[in-house]
Structure 1
Amino acid sequence: MMTNLFSTFDPSTNIMNLSINWMSTLLGIMIIPMSFWLIPSRMMIIWINVINTLHKEFKTLLGEFNHKGSTFIFISLFSFILFNNFLGLFPYIYTSSSHMSMTLSLALPMWLSFMMFGWINHTQHMFAHLVPQGTPPMLMPFMVCIETISNIIRPGTLAVRLAANMIAGHLLLTLLGNTGPLMGYLMINVLIITQLLLLTLEFAVSIIQSYVFAILSTLYSSEVI
């Protein structure tokens, strides 16, 4: 029989002699992410600065009509491609960004969404883009055909550019590495130095290609607004 109205709140339930009633006060602290407890590392500070720089650049490219948060789509795209490109630099890891099935699946849905948004909401603006300003009347039909074709092949060029640049360096590294067993000690040293230089180049290419992909996607999106 309950002798006190507040006896239901007594810490009676326990696990390993620790009262669950008092443990509940720590639950809020336990779910706070670890990054809020720690001083940001240098790598985290660098990455935050990179994201801020990309945000400002994408915001400038999108112009005054950009929607709030629209730059984060392209920042996420840059981060995803950069992560996959870097993973491909490690031995025995499959480079997904060097295959058309991967790059086209990134470029095609994004281009389709831009086109659908543009033609549904800004139809007149999209028609105006087909004829550049100052085009002679005689050339207008040809310019419409050329602009239409160049617009259609955009996802293909995005996909091929990323895949070709990523696979070219990896292919060269593999071909040079396979010649190693046939070389003497002196040439092996030359080969190792060459491979290290090529690996440094591939490191730079990984950053540049992810940046180019994101920048071109931003430029294509800015044309439909």
Structure 2
Amino acid sequence: MTNLFSVFDPSTSILNLSLNWMSTFLGLMMIPLSFWFLPSRYTIIWNNILMTLHKEFKILIGTSGLPGSTFIFVSLFSLILFNNFLGLFPYVFTSSSHLTMTLTLALPLWLSFMIFGWINHTQHMFAHLVPQGTPPVLMPFMVCIETISNIIRPGTLAVRLAANMIAGHLLLTLLGNTGPSLSLSILSLLIMAQIALLTLEAAVAMIQSYVFAVLSTLYSSEVN
């Protein structure tokens, strides 16, 4: 079990600089190249994706949101998506499978929403603690439940992303480790299963980055 989880251990270092965490910035090395040329198909597709996300987040935030407030969530989506995809390449450290990384993204966002909300819209934030149409008897319980659900939000955001990244990678590693001991006929089945799992992981990488960005947007829209 120790060897299995050592895949996620950020141990590679030169001059006490943890090189594995540098994988977070690998995407940045690839992105700028497209901006120096005439728009390629890749650039047009990426711009279309970003515009679609921008429109969707704009609807989620509502009319009360400030202009340009969707950009932070579109950037967040891009960062997590690149990280998740880079983690699927061999010998690339998946930084988004660590709570260090995911909490760093979720906690400051949630904290800034909360501080902004409680300072500027105190009455609105208190009103959120009791859902509309709650019987007076249940109001104290609802306040407790709503408060707890609000406090665990950054934790659930971070754990959801990290757990999904870890689960897929562990499954691929476990199946890959059984390869040398198998016969040729079963090995071909294993390779097909690995390819199917890799496709699933690519889908999970996209879905989880989208979910993270959408939930962050929804949490910010509640504050306004």
Shorter-chain TM range is 0.7 to 0.9
Unpaired stretches in structure 1, ≥5 consecutive residues: 1-32
**Displacement of 1:188:** 1.1
Task: Rate the CA distance shift 1:120–1:178 in 2: closer, same or farther, 3 A.
Answer: same
Task: Rate the CA distance shift 1:34–1:86 in 2: closer, same or farther, 3 A.
Answer: closer
Provide the C-alpha distance between the structure 1 equivalents of 2:206 and 2:154, rounded to a whole number of angstroms. 20
Q: Aligned pair 1:82/2:81, yes or no? A: yes
1:149 aligned partner: 148
Provide the C-alpha distance between the structure 1 equivalents of 2:178 and 2:35, rounded to a whole number of angstroms. 50
Task: Rate the CA distance shift 1:224–1:203 in 2: closer, same or farther, 3 A.
Answer: same
Correspondence 1:1-225 to 2 at 5 A: 38-225=37-224
**Displacement of 1:52:** 0.3
Report how many residues are paired: 193
Provide the C-alpha distance between the structure 2 equivalents of 1:179 and 1:222, rounded to a whole number of angstroms. 48
Provide the C-alpha distance between the structure 2 equivalents of 1:37 and 1:69, rounded to a whole number of angstroms. 25
Q: Kindly provide the amino acid, as one letter, of the partner of residue 203 in structure 2.
A: A
Deviation string 1:75-122 (CA, Å, 9 cap, x unpaired) is: 000000001000100001110101111111110000000000000000
1:12 aligned partner: none
2:28 aligned partner: none
TM-score by structure 2 length?
0.84
1:27 aligned partner: none
Structure number with larger C-alpha Rg: 1
Deviation string 1:137-156 (CA, Å, 9 cap, x unpaired) is: 11100000000000000000
SS in 2 for 1:223: helix
**Displacement of 1:34:** 7.9
Identity of aligned residues (%): 77
**Displacement of 1:38:** 3.3
Contact 2:86 2:92 in 1 (8 A): yes
Unpaired stretches in structure 2, ≥5 consecutive residues: 1-31
Provide the C-alpha distance between the structure 2 equivalents of 1:82 and 1:164, rounded to a whole number of angstroms. 15
Deviation string 1:173-215 (CA, Å, 9 cap, x unpaired) is: 0000000010011111111111000000000000000000000
Task: Rate the CA distance shift 1:92–1:37 in 2: closer, same or farther, 3 A.
Answer: closer
Task: Rate the CA distance shift 1:203–1:66 in 2: closer, same or farther, 3 A.
Answer: same
SS in 2 for 1:164: helix
Q: Kindly provide the amino acid, as one letter, of the partner of residue 221 in structure 1.
A: S
SS in 2 for 1:187: helix
**Displacement of 1:35:** 6.0
Task: Rate the CA distance shift 1:105–1:38 in 2: closer, same or farther, 3 A.
Answer: closer
Task: Rate the CA distance shift 1:47–1:36 in 2: closer, same or farther, 3 A.
Answer: closer
Superposition CA RMSD, Å: 1.3
Task: Rate the CA distance shift 1:178–1:127 in 2: closer, same or farther, 3 A.
Answer: same
TM-score by structure 1 length?
0.84
1:11 aligned partner: none
